[in-house]
Structure 1
Amino acid sequence: MTTPTPCDLVMKGGVTSGIVYPHLVTRLARRHRFVRIGGASAGAIAAAFTAAAEFDRHERAGGHVPAGDGPTGFELLHTMPDTLAHGLPGLFAPRHDLRHHLAAVLALVDRRGVGGKVGPALRHAVAGTSGRLGPGLVLCLAAGVGLGLAVWAWGGAAPWAALVAGTLLAVLLAGIVALASLWWFVRVGVERMVDNGYGLVRGLTDPAEGTEPGGALTEWLTDTLDAVAGLPAGRVLTFGDLWGPEAVEQHRRLRLGSAERVVDPVELEAFSPRVDLQVMTTCLSLRRPYTFPFTTRIFHWCPTCWAGWFPPRVVAALEEASKPAHPQRQRIDGEPTPIPDHCPHHPGTRLRQLPHPSDVPVVVGVRLSLSFPGVVSAVPMWVLDRYRAEGNWAYREVWFSDGGLTSNFPLEFFDAPLPGHPTFGVTLEAPHPDFPDTVAFRPVTNNSGILGRVRPITGAGQFVEAILGVLVDWRDALTVPAAGNRDRVVEVRIPEDAGGLHLTMPPEVVADVARRGEEGAALLESFDWDNHRWIRYRTATAGLGDLLHDVRENWPHYTDLVARDVPPSYPVADGRADDDRAATASLLEAAGRLRDLDNPAHSGSVPTPRRAFRATPST
């Protein structure tokens, strides 16, 4: 058996479409060792399971797990679609008083036509309002009968006229009662959803259902991650487990500040985890994406709040590894005054700083990334808000939702101008209209896959859908077709009756989706690493030449500033100013040499679309 070669893997988000990933990953695992794995939403779930299975493989190879001691992590991962084929609806168990609302929402997002959506949704709404609608309709009928009798007995009307009058009144009142009941159903549902963390499903078993804990989404994620990682019962898989002890020590030496990351690049290069898992989440309150594990220490959590989001052993592990919020002060009327650091929802509970990233359970990152808006609840945290005027500083609640809102396919997670090993990507699409039997596709020639799929717009509904799609997917639409990207991304095509929030897929549909993932992995086996490296070399040198050209063109505006003995801010280390100027001069010489050579990287056939070299904020 050949030794697996290293690769990275990034997986696109979704919900139930994540069933495509287990067979894809296990097939790739025959040839590759996963070094860095990332994703968003359902892609984050798949990434976490892949990381856990790779951790298990490393532990077995190192002799930390007895040979033949149960199925391997990848073997467990391979059987996951079979498990989900019969248990998927149970994972998304809602709060007891929101069960009819979830059923109505799932009916409305079904892929069937309008009639197939509205009818079932109304039936669930009726079931959810039966306590009000039933008595109301009885009263409507009684009012109609009463009016008919009155018209006939005292008005002297003919029996048929009395019947018509009573029927019209009953129908009118019934319509009013039905609309009022529907309004009540929606209003109460929204109120309960807000109280439930802006979602119908938190991910824990609701005690009101009378069932034993363990079968809901976050409970299942926790237990299954630990099982795939081969951990003993009661242990919670952490990011530090994935990294390995040496990498944990390296990371603890990095300076993670109370603001954004302040890290010496040399120290950052020394951080070399065995398995590096990164997932995308979205902070709605700060209107921005974050990569998890965080590279900042600004976020805090409330143990009592999180007991409603995570299983007890996860909360216990977080409490053991974390410290209470560091006491902070602000000036009020000139006097230093402590800033309250207790949870406003639970005054007896003090907020705690998130543990060091190595001590954070992996399931926390997964749950932060998977919060399908309106269905799966967002997750609350707290941050000290110093944006306000001093005197109004306070810990304020911030909500984290689905990572797919800001980057559903974060292919750039592990990107480098000149990669040392492949980073594969897996994206999900609907079947191609002209090739319905092609379940997976990857561009295999340099000129294919440049133009994305054209999605016709023929009505108002499709127009609105297109607007929402652009808001979420514009970054991916630019990233995937770029030279050096498209040849390493496989597109797995999910049928119309699968994926999305389709929780009741028949077992044969689940099996078909899983098979499509394996077909996608097969296409990556023919990946041309030599051609890919050449493309990356050509795009890197062309982009670097553009960057150096821009630096050289604008350098005259900076010469006097750099020559100053005392800079305006952010000085280089003591005694390194001359070295810094000398290094800059070398860059300018290289830029001049490129100009004299007429930038040969731009000659001949340059790969397109070009990969832009530009400064972008870190997430």
Structure 2
Amino acid sequence: MSAVTWSQARAGEVQRLALTGYDSDCARHFVLTVINDAQARRYLAGLLHRGVLTFGGRRTRESASVNIGFTYRGLGKLGVPAQHLRVLKEKSPAFAEGARLRAPRLGDAGDSAVERWDAPFASDDADVWIAVHADNPAELDRKVAELRTRAGADLAFAGWGAKGLSACHLTHQPDPENPRKKIRYVHFGLRDNIARPVIDAHAGERHKAGELLLGYPNDSGFNFWSDQDTPEETAAFLRNASFGVLRKVAQHEERLDDYLHKQVTALQGKYGYVNADFLKAKMSGRWPDGAVVQPGETAPPHPMQVNPVFDPQADKHGFGCPFGAHIRRTNPRTDPVQPKRARTIFRRGMPYGPKYDPQDSPQTRDADRGLMGVFFCASIEDQFELVVSEWMEKNPMGPRTGGRAKDPLVGRHDEPGARFHIPLKNGPAINLDGFTPFVSTRGMLYALFPGRQALAAMTSLDTPEDEAVPTRDPHAVNAGGAPADRYCDIVMEGGVTSGIIYATAVATLSKRYRFKNIGGSSIGAFAAALTAAAEYQRRKGSDAGFDALKMLPDKLADDDDDKDKDKDKDKDKDKGRTLLQRLFVPQKGTRRLFQIFLATLERKSGKTLVLAGVMAAVRQYVWLAALVFLVLLAVVLAGPLLSALWANERDLRTPGVLLLLPWFAAAVLTLGVSVVVAVLAGIVWDFARHVVPNGFGLCRGWPDDASAQSLDLAGFLHASIQGAAGREIDDMPLTFRDLWNAPGAPSGSLQDPRGGGGRSINLEVYSSNLAHGRPYRFPLDEPKQPGQDEDMGRLFFCPEELERYFPSGLVRYLEMKSRPYAPVSEADPPAGAHSEGLRELPAADLPIVVAARLAMSFPLLISAVPLWAIDHEPKCRQARKLARCWMSDGGLCSNFPIHLFDNTVPRWPTFGISLNLRSEARPERKVWLPDLHHEGRGDTWDRRAVNGKTAFKRLGGFLISLWVTTWHWNDSTMMRMPGVRDRVVRVYLLPEEGGVNICMTRKKILALAEDYGAPAARAFIEKFADPGSPGWAEHRWVRFNSLLVALRKRVEGLQQAAQLDHHTVPLAIQIKRSTGHAPLRGASKRKPWPSTEPLCGCQQQELQDLLTALYRLERAFAMAGDTQPFIAAPRPSLRMRHPT
């Protein structure tokens, strides 16, 4: 079984109550019994798919949150497979047996015995634990009412009649060190939430994820729930779950108060400083406001210094915090304990009952109050039960103990004569005795809080997936905010760094839409792949992928690359570089050219750009310039120097100072020529010797000495896509087949009849085949009739070559999913030496990261990727062979394929995001989506060839405009069309934003996301998804009428053309003759193509019927009239074109 490691990307899989808890003031817990398993699954599906349950570590907009856990019995009732239950029983007998049977092990006897527990803990009927947290009682009541009135609540569960187990913080005040946080107190007058352990994805006292969650290594490096004895399906089901313990503990504060006052009276004669707060602090280990008691302290420090983490090494003798104190027992840290491993418990509890006041009446003093304890861990036996039964209820650890008292605050205290030993630094020790229990257990429950994917699986057990949610409200919102039946397509334009905006745009758009078809070129292809991966994880039940996308700009903007000082020996040279820049790693031979490229970035004018480039070039080739200078200088000055020496030998008059001036001028000229020649020669040499063998690029994206964790472009693409999909980098790579088979595909009237209709998530990206001079769309089409409709587009790869471009694990996977070359048609050459070692690139099983990298090969910056194709040009089949072809940036051929998913009348919108330069006429406009249907039809102007102040600037602008026009004419034309322009948001960037500027500062990177990405998505939402907005209806109207305009134009004169007999045969006669004479000629008799043989009668009838239908369509348009209910400007045209 492959190892699974925790990462922040998985946080969205974990129920928030388990992962981080809530900063809420109120809570209510319901312990319910399942009375109808099918209804219970439907109810659970509603909670999950309608976004009622809360996941991840971030606070949501909801002021009330819900989480759910299940007892062992409850899991069985809901139909969890027997295999999963068997593993749970074997690995956690405490969970299987239940809290009532385990209670005696924890010392729950006498007043805490199970026979005296409160309802709903008084019986074995507990199946489900629903926890509700809110900021105030009103919000809590509202959320509880919502849960109780949901469809099927009373049919699914019994136990709603009880008011639930309520808890509420006593008092709170702003934290002076952090006003956003609240200082809260629990009973016994102690401060709460001081030292809260967390797993390593968050700040604080960190632990490995396996201490909290099932399926990950713990602090000892052992993964108990994913070992070789655990079936893979069970390990996957349990992963991201956590065991929750609900323990209601009554706190008899009046008993504690009476005891403390009695002890103070007895001790004050000998210890004048002793008071109730002092003794309570020694029993707890902290002063009431949270500071750890330090050696020698007799009163709280002023000002108060809260020490969240207690360090036993700083108090080895217990002079401050005694060895038997509560905090030293529950978390011994470095104290000597057996067994030695720490037992971490993650606390989420809250007090219940009124605050204690000794001045109140006896009835109020004795009121029911205590702690509604909520604890989470990955092992009930090894963590929760051990801490309670061993560390709290046994003798204290440490050498300086003279008594046998249990935990002074929460211990059972059933041993007469037991003493609590308080060693003092400046005097004799204090020994407290005469304890009575200050707490008693009022109930306890063990439950499993499954992860998101496990919950999703539970909802469909023995229930068809389309029945999982009993009633479907099209405006209801799931956990990510997107209704389960609201889809959209999205196409993202190519570029390089400007694609950063796509991350936040997609993350924001995901709150209102689910993504069906996703496409892009260049950086847009990478963004499309990330979007598809995040959508895949959402279809599996988690929105964590979109959370990761939202954080991607911040990750790319990270300039703190000095985190591992032992490994990063060259950290000084990387200081201040963002992750975006560090991803572009040149090879050894291309570093000089890469440094020249970097020097030209972020320049405000052409002059500074050229100057910076020249200076960088001189610096990179200074050694070569020096060598050339010395050689040329020797040649130039050889004559004059020899003449001077000759004159000196014959006592002739030597040249004067004036005669030396030409020599000096010659030396200076030589220096200039040397620099020019050396720099040009060095650049030419590096291009020829290093750039060309490097795939015609400065950065190949994967170093020769790479490991799986290497920081380089290909490794980052792979890790990002895997993370967005909820997978680890060592897991099986996400493939197109995975996307196609994901759950949650459109159903019913939303089913897509097009070619991609069978694909739940359809990702398509473009790459440019430079040998063929045309774009390739990935995934490649798998021919339905091999040899006849494969479009001559088969591609092959050499594993040894791809290992220079991708992690070795990906290449091995490709080898496993591919097959060696073999001919599939008579046109293909036989296998031979030319095809040895080459394997066919898979279609469905192609990892999407490979397609994204093929599409993202910006010329000269990012290397092209070598693939192989069949060269069919030689006439003789035997002379044909497989030849290498370079796959470069998809944007070269189709930078903004907005047409990619268009249909006649759309079922859902296809959004496009186009990147443009900021207009000089409207410099304030950053993001624009046309609101009215006629807006956006004007051209976008390129004024570089006109507005240049000098002839050279105009010439440069003219050349750039030539390239942009050649490159963008198709995209620019499509952007003006009706039905297109109103669904494409224009993002207007400044010249220094995006482009190939990989040296952008952290501020600029974050600005791209905040100023452009999120507003772009909000523009779509406001127009197409907000209630009451007519945008979507108007768009469908425009698309429908544009189709009619184009179709009318296309069918006009069709019948006349079909019946034409001038130098040809009318189509109707051709069809009539087709059963006796083949309409087309064909060379192959063994594998004939359709129409190269006579047609059968049904084929003939089909063609005749369709021709008649076209005649009728033309007549229908003519008879309907042409009143122009809609004017399409510019007028669209239906034309035959290649499917790309």
Smaller-chain TM-score range?
Answer: 0.7 to 0.9
Question: Equivalent of 1:172, from 652, 663, 669?
Answer: 669
Q: Shift of the alpha carbon at 1:164?
A: 1.3
Identify if the C-alpha distance between structure 1 residues 100 and 396 changes in structure 2 by more than 3 Å, giving closer, same or farther: same
Question: Equivalent of 1:292, from 761, 769, 778?
Answer: 778
Aligned residue for 1:605? 1126
Aligned residue for 2:859? 373
**Paired amino acid for 1:476:** D
CA distance in 2, matches of 1:88, 1:537: 43
CA contact (8 A) 1:370 1:403 kept: yes
Question: Equivalent of 2:697, from 193, 199, 205?
Answer: 199
Q: Is 1:455 aligned with 2:942?
A: yes
Consecutive unaligned residues of structure 2, counting only runs of 5 or more, are 1-50, 52-476, 558-577, 746-751, 782-789, 947-953, 1024-1030, 1061-1066, 1081-1089
Aligned residue for 1:123? 615
CA distance in 1, matches of 2:676, 2:518: 49
Q: Shift of the alpha carbon at 1:450?
A: 0.6
Identify, as 1 or 2, the structure richer in helix. Answer: 1
CA contact (8 A) 1:110 1:501 kept: no
Deviates more, 1:301-310 or 1:142-151: 142-151
- Map residues 61-460 of structure 1 onto 2, 5 A cutoff: 72-85=544-557, 86-108=578-600, 111-138=603-630, 154=647, 156-191=653-688, 192-207=690-705, 214-234=710-730, 235-244=732-741, 269=755, 271-295=757-781, 296=790, 298-326=794-822, 338-342=830-834, 350-355=837-842, 357-390=843-876, 391-456=878-943, 457-458=945-946, 459-460=954-955
CA contact (8 A) 1:247 1:272 kept: no
CA contact (8 A) 2:489 2:517 kept: yes
Aligned residue for 1:40? 521
CA distance in 2, matches of 1:573, 1:383: 36
CA distance in 1, matches of 2:762, 2:825: 37
**Paired amino acid for 1:84:** L
Aligned residue for 2:61? none
Deviates more, 1:210-219 or 1:24-33: 210-219
**Paired amino acid for 1:605:** F
TM score, norm. by length of structure 1 = 0.88
Q: Shift of the alpha carbon at 1:23?
A: 0.8
Deviates more, 1:151-160 or 1:562-571: 151-160
TM score, norm. by length of structure 2 = 0.49
Task: Give CA deviations for 1:70-89 in whole Å, capped at 9, x if unaligned.
Answer: x8011111111111122111
Aligned residue for 2:150? none
**Paired amino acid for 1:78:** K
Q: Is 1:563 aligned with 2:1072?
A: yes
Aligned residue for 2:1135? 614
1:55 alignment partner, SS class: helix
Name which structure has the greater RCO, CA cutoff 8 Å, separation 6+: 1
**Paired amino acid for 1:495:** L
Identify if the C-alpha distance between structure 1 residues 426 and 142 changes in structure 2 by more than 3 Å, giving closer, same or farther: same
Deviates more, 1:272-281 or 1:449-458: 449-458
CA contact (8 A) 1:147 1:165 kept: no
2:700 alignment partner, SS class: coil
2:780 alignment partner, SS class: coil
Aligned residue for 2:187? none
CA distance in 2, matches of 1:394, 1:556: 45
Task: Give CA deviations for 1:265-311 in whole Å, capped at 9, x if unaligned.
Answer: x9965842121110111111011112111124611111111111111
Q: Shift of the alpha carbon at 1:561?
A: 1.3
Question: Equivalent of 2:993, from 498, 522, 525?
Answer: 498
CA distance in 1, matches of 2:729, 2:773: 39
CA distance in 1, matches of 2:679, 2:527: 38
Identify if the C-alpha distance between structure 1 residues 402 and 389 changes in structure 2 by more than 3 Å, giving closer, same or farther: same
1:360 alignment partner, SS class: coil
Deviates more, 1:503-512 or 1:118-127: 118-127
1:503 alignment partner, SS class: coil
CA contact (8 A) 2:1050 2:1133 kept: no
CA contact (8 A) 1:439 1:492 kept: yes
CA distance in 2, matches of 1:244, 1:300: 25
CA distance in 2, matches of 1:268, 1:519: 32
**Paired amino acid for 1:553:** Q
1:411 alignment partner, SS class: coil
Q: Shift of the alpha carbon at 1:400?
A: 1.1
CA distance in 1, matches of 2:658, 2:634: 17
CA distance in 2, matches of 1:282, 1:574: 43
**Which has more radius of gyration?**
2
Q: Is 1:552 aligned with 2:1055?
A: yes
2:931 alignment partner, SS class: coil
Aligned residue for 1:477? 972
Aligned residue for 2:151? none
CA distance in 1, matches of 2:1071, 2:708: 67
2:669 alignment partner, SS class: helix
Aligned residue for 1:59? 540
Q: Shift of the alpha carbon at 1:224?
A: 1.1
CA contact (8 A) 2:488 2:910 kept: yes
CA contact (8 A) 2:593 2:686 kept: yes
CA contact (8 A) 1:204 1:217 kept: yes
CA contact (8 A) 1:125 1:185 kept: no
CA contact (8 A) 1:283 1:398 kept: yes
Task: Give CA deviations for 1:461-494 in whole Å, capped at 9, x if unaligned.
Answer: 1111111111100001110110001110000111
CA contact (8 A) 1:101 1:124 kept: no
Question: Equivalent of 2:1098, from 551, 572, 575?
Answer: 575
Identify if the C-alpha distance between structure 1 residues 445 and 197 changes in structure 2 by more than 3 Å, giving closer, same or farther: same
Identify if the C-alpha distance between structure 1 residues 337 and 466 changes in structure 2 by more than 3 Å, giving closer, same or farther: closer
Identify if the C-alpha distance between structure 1 residues 593 and 165 changes in structure 2 by more than 3 Å, giving closer, same or farther: closer
Identify if the C-alpha distance between structure 1 residues 563 and 146 changes in structure 2 by more than 3 Å, giving closer, same or farther: closer
Q: Shift of the alpha carbon at 1:203?
A: 0.5
Q: Shift of the alpha carbon at 1:143?
A: 6.8
Aligned residue for 1:256? none
Q: Shift of the alpha carbon at 1:216?
A: 0.9
Equivalenced residue count is 579
CA contact (8 A) 1:442 1:491 kept: yes
Identify if the C-alpha distance between structure 1 residues 211 and 169 changes in structure 2 by more than 3 Å, giving closer, same or farther: farther
Q: Shift of the alpha carbon at 1:166?
A: 2.9
Question: Equivalent of 2:1032, from 529, 538, 544?
Answer: 529
Question: Equivalent of 2:1042, from 525, 539, 545?
Answer: 539
CA distance in 1, matches of 2:1007, 2:1096: 59
Identify if the C-alpha distance between structure 1 residues 341 and 243 changes in structure 2 by more than 3 Å, giving closer, same or farther: farther
Task: Give CA deviations for 1:561-617 in whole Å, capped at 9, x if unaligned.
Answer: 12212341333666332133123212212322321333x4x6233222122111111
Task: Give CA deviations for 1:123-168 in whole Å, capped at 9, x if unaligned.
Answer: 3322332332233334566678877765666363454235313312
Deviates more, 1:430-439 or 1:507-516: 430-439
